[in-house]
A and B are shown apart, each in its own frame.
Chain A
């Protein structure tokens, strides 16, 4: 393989702390990790003293908005945000315009990601045509396309019709795929604005009851069991949901679950000021739910963390609550929030973080190259983090096109210092590398 880029030659990552706590050097050549060369000379050295080395992060749930909503984000700006957050791969949800329900659209999204080079973009295909929940989309065509889609989701919408969900689980299994369900019973959440409870009653905001999520998950795990298919549950948000998944796994049902960073840190109290920065679907829940989700990650009931990065333009968040759009950007803040919620609280170690933010999401999405993280022979997807840094999360930490982050002004730990994507530096010394440089290196790689 030839490389006409800044990743040419041999790179030595010196003195990094590995997830298991050991300090070691990592060597990169030709876009892969390699054993230390005899003679030990490097063309370039990255000083990783005091920095934590993690495998490149993989986000199983991102909204890149292109095609159709480029005012909020594009594949380029979204993958820049991803790189800034330490992600080397993102799975792009299908609720674009047009919806990613054909081979054509998924191949387009895939190509854009390859061209820009900041992160590996794996398109997610819709389960139903137009996300309308009526007819299955061309799942086979998307699976065999250049995009090789393996994750299918109507996220944004719930596949609520039980018959259709059954068919989807069965059909997708034919292609070794998985249905990622956005669990929200629509009839119980008409006009819903926030978690249903005392606060929603006090604020006069229509409630989104926990049972609307839990009842769909309960149904879906039983369907998955019945037809012997894999199921993935998006953005789990309630304690009850964790219990349902725990029960299902104990029965041997092949279900995986994700939790977002915001559901691991933020609670519904933040809604009291009616600031739409805190409006998200599923909504922020109670303290008990946050703790149940953390415990679920710690004991493996919840398999991964996924950001549900959802960019929106300013006008969609600068208005009355009921008029505002749902969603928060989350790629750049994911690792700091996860560190604050799970590592600094002693619930997970860094090795666990590597598992829930890299190895496992890649496995669920059937993404190659992440199963032997940081090992010689694997693609050089690496993020070097300074876990001791504590700083205020400000606008300049956001590199996507939208700024709807709930963390602005908040102190968060950790800082991404270097990112290598297939050996190509996308972030160096805490700054994003320029787009033309990264694109040129990507061309070289292809």
Chain B
């Protein structure tokens, strides 16, 4: 099957900008926000969101990474992989609003693992979820608070997210 681009670079930038504004609006400011990207591309997106937030609502938003490999429930069905680093800002997550950031929301299992990981790290006031693409087919009752684009897809299709920092271009394709 041939890959078809559904989001190009400008679309991605616009989506992230909109998400940043939505986050600010819902949280009534950027104070006490911790953006935690889920490796690998979630971390890239979290950093971009953080940069945008710094411009539109200067405040105390912080950014980090949350690796969830150790909390997955489907480890035995996948090849063993080395976890990526988890970097929580020094002030921690207690009493703050955590915004989990990932590239694609699909079954929801990654986010469930992220919630378990967060509960071992502290007690945030609230946890929100921002994703670039929501492709449906949830297996758990998880939903995103902020969505870049809804992409209904069939389970036989593959959605690939490419980001310049890793893949040398910004593009989301479906094949």
The answer to whether A and B touch in the complex, with CB atoms under 8 Å apart, is no
